[in-house]
Amino acid sequence: MPETIAEIRLPTRELRDDIPFFTKVLGMRMDSIYPADDPSVAVFSGYGLRVRIEKGASEPPGTLRILTDDPDGFAGGARDLTAPNGTRVEIAALNAPLVMPETVHSFIVRRLADQAPWIIGRAGMQYRDLIPDRLGGSIIASHIRIPDGGPVPDMVHYHTVGFQLIFCYRGWVDLVYEDQGEPFRLHAGNCVIQPPQIRHRVLYASDNIEVIEIGVPAEHVTTIDHDMKLPNGPARPDRDFSGQRFVHHQAQDATWAPFRIPGFRSRDTSIAEHTGNVAGVHVVRPGQCASAITRHDSDILFTFVTEGTMTLEGEGREPFDLTAGDAFVIPPGMAVRYAAPSDDLELLEVSLPGVFETVTVEQD
């Protein structure tokens, strides 16, 4: 294959003013300059970038972003510079810390019948937003589907997140994860958590696959890893990823126990334990006794109705009749009751933190 080089062209009025800025201030290398008697073009390279500064070029000066693990030691600690040719240069941290926005609490009901739009997202997947206001940017919950099964055009990638859950709602999907051994099939009713920056890839999906994906915070970066090949060797299931361990929860191995709300039972996915109580995930079904009115003190409490029907009674609100595909968020301190549950009702509950207090409210 012939050698190929790409460069970005930027304008200048006087090249001699730009040379010391790009070489001494930014620390780039000058690779070429011409003509010799009165230079009007110079090419600089560095940090994976090749820049051609050309006298009289018609393009606007543009902006360069340089990411470094030592921003205080780069360019004298400046964060925003302007080159003599007018190009703006931003200096930023290479691995910026994850910022967790403060939760803006609200009561939300999102019903499938309301016809929220499906948006085409990454790798051709269709996304339906389950928390439109994102609680101030603290969380995103998506109902994702792929109508046509087969190979998924995905690449090895990772997410810079605080917490991420994939719950298989319908169908199945084949996945592979860093240090978790060979690819495996995630079946309906089962889930995985994707610890921060674990490399993974979606391989193959059944027809009409649907998943519920939770991400914290709402806006987080997805990075393609062009170098890692998966699977990547012997499994290391206990590996720690920023304080979290990978979980593949399988329904057939779960134990049902009384739920935090009287009148219901649940299977704990062990996610609270494996995330250091960052988050908890339960699958919930009706029990034998009547449901109670309760309040909770969890910062975020999201619920998705996977099967059946129920009526959500909230303090100061009209009742909501819910069915499969609906979702709701209950803010802390709000009194609610999960009324009239059908026998086949099943809920997916995600909380941050994983363990929190629920109290029963005495009825007048």
- Which residues are CB-neighbours of 63 under 8 A, at least 6 positions away? 87, 88, 89, 90
Q: What single-letter DSSP state applies at residue 320?
A: E
> Which tens digit of pLDDT belongs to each residue from 51-63?
999 999 999 999 9
Domain range summary for the chain, segments of one domain joined by + = 8-93, 111-248, 253-360
Strand 191-193 and strand 172-177: the pairing is unpaired
Same fold, 111-248 and 253-360: yes
User: Is pLDDT at 108 greater than 60 in this prediction?
Assistant: yes
Which CATH code for domain 111-248?
2.60.120.10
Phi and psi torsions of 272, nearest 5°: -60, -45
Q: What is the pLDDT of residue 117?
A: 77
Q: Put residue 8 in one of left, alpha, beta given phi > 0 → left and psi -120 to 50 → alpha.
A: beta
Residue with tokens 């978790």: 180
Mean pLDDT of the region 213-236: 95
Q: What single-letter DSSP state applies at residue 24?
A: I
Phi and psi torsions of 177, nearest 5°: -130, 150
* Angle, vertex CA 258, rays to CA 352 and CA 243, nearest 5: 30
Handedness of CA 224, 235, 256, 308 (dihedral sign): positive
Residues 8-93, CATH architecture: Roll (3.10)
User: Is pLDDT at 363 greater than 80 in this prediction?
Assistant: no
> Which tens digit of pLDDT belongs to each residue from 54-99?
999 999 999 999 999 999 999 999 999 999 999 999 999 998 888 8
Please state the three-class secondary structure of 229-282 as a single string. CCCCCCCCCCCCECCECCEEECHHHCCEEECCCCCEEEEECCHHHHCCCCCEEE
Handedness of CA 127, 285, 270, 135 (dihedral sign): positive
> Which tens digit of pLDDT belongs to each residue from 157-211?
999 999 999 999 999 999 999 999 999 999 999 999 999 999 999 999 999 999 9
- What is 253-360's CATH superfamily? Jelly Rolls (2.60.120.10)
Cα–Cα distance for residue pair 42/117, rounded to 1 Å:
50
Percentage of the chain exceeding pLDDT 70: 98
Long-range contacts of the stretch 240-244 (C-beta < 8 A, 24+): 241/195, 241/196, 241/197, 241/198, 242/195, 242/196, 242/197, 243/275, 243/276, 243/278, 244/163, 244/193, 244/195, 244/196, 244/274, 244/275, 244/276, 244/278
pTM of the model: 0.89
